[in-house]
Structure 1
Amino acid sequence: MTIESIGLAPSTLVFIVLGLTLAAFMWGRFRYDLVALAALLGSVMLGLVPTDDAFKGFGHPAVITVAAVLVISRGFERSGVVDIIANQVLKVGERLLLQLLVLVGTVVVLSGVMNNVGALALLLPVAMRLAREHNTSPSLLLMPLAFGSLLGGLTTLIGTPPNIIISTYRGNITGENFGMFSFTPVGVVVALVGLLFIVLVGWRLTPKRSGQASTDEMFDTANYLVELKVSEESKANGLTLQQLHDELEETIPVLAVVRKDTRQTGYSFHGVLQQGDILLLEAGPDELKLLEDKVGLSAIAEPEEDDDINTDEAESESRASQQAAERQPVDTEGLQLIEAVVRNDSMMINRSVRQLRLNQQFGLHLVAVARDGGRLKQRLRDIRFQTGDVLLLQGSENEIADGLATLGCLPLANRELHLGQPRKLAMSLGIFALAILAMLFDLLPAAVAMSTAALISLLIGVLPLREGYQAIDGPVIVLLAAMLPVGEALETSGGAEIIADALLRFGVEWPIIVSLAGLFILSMLLSNVVNNAAAALLMAPIAASLASGFDVSLDPFLMVVAVSASCAFLTPIGHQSNTLVLGPGGYQFGDYWKLGLPLSLVVMIVAIPAILWAWPL
């Protein structure tokens, strides 16, 4: 198939491909890396991208730099650099304004020298601990923290992928990339003003979700923990827990097995059930009925919610409850329950408990799932996990740590700070400093300097090789590599020039600053519905065509795209940082614009004059 055989202009075909791509991004049915790859292959088949250039994006300097920065960021975490900072943050005290200033200020600084999602992921558990220790709603802390991570990324070349993309694009046009600190004059001004706005005003615009700081309150666990007794006639008598699950065709987490005066946690119980055993488990009305009907487990204590059972069952359970009155309350101490949030890059997304084999493969029991601030009441086996889901899990300490890392989940409740080894800490900082110096003095390009730093970190053991590969966000890498040729097709087909001409006709009677504001708004809106890297890739050629049409310097137009592409403050899907706090903060989709819209306006009002001051027309 060729362009000529279709009979449409190349620019028209590019707009069709991009329109379908953006629609697929907004729909969200398919992951953004798959959508980007489909756009690339479609462009190749239509002749918009030469076949020989289809996969050159995977070797593009911007893609290599992003991958290297992700590895270096994980090295910082592993060596304990960030944990030392986080340990100091926990001493901030109970004043909310001070908590916000320290938390958001810290994530702004960290996001300038490491991946902004990584910086947020490290401070998210710290914010949750602060909220719980001082009885503060985490919804007041987490959205400001996420937005702060985006602001911090504006300050340096490696702070966020759009900066790397814009720098590389400038190099392709002018022969000279933006440097490591070319973004700093504008980025620091914008980040400081944004920080002050969030701390002094913005947090008041976030919803206050009561009760989200407590595991028991979020999941209402106490109302669902019940004790069931194995009788002589029970079908469960003589079964292992795995056989019990097979009989039920349902994964109902058994938290503990009590035999006489000994209690053993469910994940470590490998024997068979006997008459008189007490099972401590988490179950609602439907699960209790299933346990009674299929394996003959009778309730010793029943939650108050179970009023949809028949009269005979109610009388039986009433007698059981009277007998249970003499028993001690359910004791959950030592059950190793932990909260974790599903990350954007998690292997759990769109998969169920059975597909993941959480118990068999990872040694983890799923106890409950919360989404949008509330506990899901459907059967655990029917739940397909989504980004931002908060999971309540049980397992041994080692299994929890290893399992969550492999699954791509971030622990929230009981994350212990580890200070790392001083030698590795010093080496990690030293390697990063040398890479920065090599870039500052133009000894090495950013991609080579960052890749060398990542390689040395792996070779000397700052970061294990397996974790180095895990640190590379595959979907983001595929997105960048696939959209780079598509973005070039927008330019080579004349599509970017058509859009720029339309903006020029609109702004010909207005000062250029008005066109810059229009470019800022267009790029900002795009970044809220697609990945910010994709927004930068698509808007860069439009900015170049606009600068050429006005016959002025390219730099301020590219800087406008760099800043605006990172202003994804309006929706939870615009940036991974926003999605990461969706579940733990108990936010809803419409909560983000209430703080995000005023913050976006503040950033635009501050950024455009700062850009024109630092990068004159």
Structure 2
Amino acid sequence: MTGDLALVLVLLVAAIAMFAFGRPRMDVVAVVMIVALPVTGILTVPETLAGFADPNVVLIAALFVVGEGLSRTGVTYRLGDWLARTAGASATRLIVLLMLSVALLGAIMSSTGVVAIFIPVALSIAARTGMSPRQLMMPLSFAGLASGMLTLIATTPNLIVDAELKRAGHSGFGFFTITPFGLVILALGIGYMLFARRFLGGETTGGGASSRTFSSLIADYRVDARTHRYRVGSGSPLIGTSLAELDLLDQRRAGVLMIERTRLLRRTVRHTSDQTVVAKGDVLFVDAAFSSEERARFRLERLAMTDGFFDAYARQVGMAEVLIGPDSAAIGKSVRMLQFSNAHGVQVAGVRHGGRTVDEGFVDLRLAAGDTLLVTGGWQQIQRLGAARRDYILLDLPAEAAEIAPAANQAPFAIASVVVMVVLMVTGIVPNVIAALIACLLMGIFRCVDMVSAYRSIHWPTLLLIVGMLPFALALQRTGGVDLVVDGLMAALGGAGPTVLLGGIFVLTAVIGLFVSNTATAVLMAPIAISTAMHLGVSPYPFAMMVALAASAAFMTPVSSPVNTLVVEPGRYRFIDFVKIGTPFTLITLVVSVLLVPLLLPL
């Protein structure tokens, strides 16, 4: 062992130790290594910083933005709604659909993000059905990990292994090369969790969430009794008029709470402000009833109200209670005088004064300290109203606020953007990174994401971790570290044949993954696996595939993957729960991989 190799190994062991203890943060460790490696003289500064120009780093960043677009447009939440309706009270059906939904969505966006989205969905279903969250959270994490085995872009380790193949002069994996293995492991995982969930135990839940909901707020303020729907007909004098100019509403002391509008053959909904202009065919939700003469004069068609009319639009139009503070400038003024719509971009849908709900004429009631107002409008406007704490105190947001989808009207465009990206990646018309960037541009053009949400969605610590660990692969190759590990594997298992070596690669990757993130593990193990194949004179693809599969098979501990860490608290799991349930399935994944990989990717 040379001095340079010993120095690289010391840095690597130090990095692994810091990763294992979680001190300092992983991205900080990566920056420390970026500084340390050039200081040793083994790598130059450009070589150490080359990861910042790596196409896969840009691709991963773009995929974070694509995932944000799916969340902001409510695609993920709608999938959760469908899951709740379809599963009903069947625990078996619920687990199967939950795992399939998470795996399907995780195949095209961050599995960590998908699991984070589905945790409140699963908890809500558990509360409704009386199931224990312990029996849902671990299937959720297992499906998130298995989703990484379904497509090339499903998880960062896949992209790292693919990039290493290309660096070694090979063509890399196709978009669906890993899919057959992932489908088998996902199917086995679903069957395994249906059996293993009985060992998780847990008390059943006793009821729903404690947060207030749209339904309870509407009932408290009797909004449903006052609200009516009217469609604006052809030739109506209201067309082209802003809400601030509507004498009809001012005379009736009414407000438009929201508007349904058809755009491009799609029904959309928007919250209102004084500047909102009425268009032909708009459906107005108004907190007053108009007489037949008024409807005829203004060409308004009365439509039937449906139960839960606000619930259906909760991800686009917000609702919350605000309290009039003791020093509020609103004291002694009426809702009409305060001009909430113009000043704050929200409508007042109801008032509670002196402990009772005011039904008629609340817009002209003089407000007092301690009164509460029910406001509707955009979620951002509601939160901004709460920032004015001297005048208005925003009370606990309703449960629906946890699933805000500010661009829900753009959901078809988000889905279309993802389809375009997948088609471009599968056909290979453009490089994967360009396909992902095209999807990002399309989502921006169609307002599925804005620049603020796009930048916020990128998980910069993950990118720094990749950039900081990539130079280790080059340093180990240059100093002979990769050859040393390969020689050790060959000496220990070489006589048993390539199939046993494939198993050895899987085990080594899985063991390292117990202490290091699967991203860093893939960075370290991909060159070792490919070099092992070259020493044997066989195809590198089976060996690279074993690294990708093993990196996603992080089932054994709650710290093996962020996906596992996320479900620990909601599921009230202990460390031993993951060891007990995850270790047998990791062994199952090992056996399946060793049998299937040489069959589908011949040596």
TM-score with structure 1 setting the length: 0.67
What do residues 162-198 of structure 1 show as CA deviations (whole Å, max 9, x unaligned)? 1111111111112422121121122222222222222
- 1:164-183 paired onto structure 2 within 5 Å: 164-183=159-178
- 1:308-327 paired onto structure 2 within 5 Å: none
Instruction: Pick the aligned partner of 2:112 from 105, 108, 117.
Output: 117
- The one-letter code matched in structure 1 to 2:197 is W
- 1:30-109 paired onto structure 2 within 5 Å: 30-91=24-85, 92-109=87-104
Query: Structure 1: which 5+ residue stretches go unaligned?
Result: 1-6, 218-263, 273-332, 337-358, 366-393, 402-411
How has the CA–CA distance of structure 1 residues 266 and 57 changed in structure 2, closer, same or farther, with 3 Å as cutoff?
same
Superposition deviation, residue 415 in structure 1: 3.3
How has the CA–CA distance of structure 1 residues 584 and 483 changed in structure 2, closer, same or farther, with 3 Å as cutoff?
same
Q: Would you say the 8 A contact 1:137–1:208 is kept in 2?
A: yes
Secondary structure of the 2:568 match is: coil
Q: Would you say the 8 A contact 1:81–1:419 is kept in 2?
A: no
Aligned to 2:143: 148
Aligned to 2:402: 415
Q: Would you say the 8 A contact 1:79–1:420 is kept in 2?
A: yes
Aligned to 2:271: none
How has the CA–CA distance of structure 1 residues 203 and 489 changed in structure 2, closer, same or farther, with 3 Å as cutoff?
same
Instruction: Pick the aligned partner of 2:184 from 189, 198, 201.
Output: 189
Max Rg structure: 2
Q: Would you say the 8 A contact 1:212–1:586 is kept in 2?
A: no
Whole-angstrom distance in 2 between the partners of 1:265 and 1:429? 34
Superposition deviation, residue 207 in structure 1: 4.5
Superposition deviation, residue 63 in structure 1: 0.8
Matched, 1:271 2:327: yes
Whole-angstrom distance in 1 between the partners of 2:422 and 2:435? 8
What do residues 293-345 of structure 1 show as CA deviations (whole Å, max 9, x unaligned)? xxxxxxxxxxxxxxxxxxxxxxxxxxxxxxxxxxxxxxxx9999xxxxxxxxx
Secondary structure of the 2:107 match is: helix
Aligned to 2:424: 438
Q: Would you say the 8 A contact 1:132–1:213 is kept in 2?
A: yes
Query: How many aligned residue pairs are there?
Result: 441
How has the CA–CA distance of structure 1 residues 129 and 213 changed in structure 2, closer, same or farther, with 3 Å as cutoff?
same
Q: Would you say the 8 A contact 1:526–1:535 is kept in 2?
A: yes
Aligned to 1:453: 439
Matched, 1:496 2:482: yes
How has the CA–CA distance of structure 1 residues 551 and 335 changed in structure 2, closer, same or farther, with 3 Å as cutoff?
farther
Matched, 1:159 2:154: yes
Whole-angstrom distance in 1 between the partners of 2:470 and 2:373? 51
Whole-angstrom distance in 2 between the partners of 1:595 and 1:363? 46
Aligned to 1:560: 546
Q: Would you say the 8 A contact 1:25–1:32 is kept in 2?
A: yes
Q: Would you say the 8 A contact 2:407–2:447 is kept in 1?
A: no
Aligned to 1:29: 23
Query: Structure 2: which 5+ residue stretches go unaligned?
Result: 212-319, 329-371, 376-382
What do residues 442-462 of structure 1 show as CA deviations (whole Å, max 9, x unaligned)? 221111111221122123311
Percent identity of paired positions between Structure 1 and Structure 2: 29
- 1:86-485 paired onto structure 2 within 5 Å: 86-91=80-85, 92-198=87-193, 200-208=194-202, 269=325, 271=327, 396=395, 415-416=402-403, 421-422=408-409, 424-485=410-471
What do residues 41-78 of structure 1 show as CA deviations (whole Å, max 9, x unaligned)? 21121122211222121121111111111110111111
Superposition deviation, residue 588 in structure 1: 2.0
- 1:465-544 paired onto structure 2 within 5 Å: 465-544=451-530
Whole-angstrom distance in 2 between the partners of 1:360 and 1:69? 30
- The one-letter code matched in structure 1 to 2:51 is G
- The one-letter code matched in structure 2 to 1:508 is G
- The one-letter code matched in structure 2 to 1:560 is M
Whole-angstrom distance in 2 between the partners of 1:65 and 1:179? 15
Q: Would you say the 8 A contact 2:533–2:540 is kept in 1?
A: yes
Secondary structure of the 1:154 match is: coil
How has the CA–CA distance of structure 1 residues 65 and 136 changed in structure 2, closer, same or farther, with 3 Å as cutoff?
same
Whole-angstrom distance in 2 between the partners of 1:270 and 1:445? 61
Secondary structure of the 1:427 match is: helix
Matched, 1:616 2:602: yes
Q: Would you say the 8 A contact 2:322–2:395 is kept in 1?
A: no
Superposition deviation, residue 106 in structure 1: 0.9
How has the CA–CA distance of structure 1 residues 419 and 361 changed in structure 2, closer, same or farther, with 3 Å as cutoff?
closer
Whole-angstrom distance in 1 between the partners of 2:34 and 2:588? 36
Whole-angstrom distance in 1 between the partners of 2:72 and 2:201? 34
Whole-angstrom distance in 2 between the partners of 1:36 and 1:215? 41
- 1:566-581 paired onto structure 2 within 5 Å: 566-581=552-567
Range 186-195 or range 601-610, more displaced = 186-195
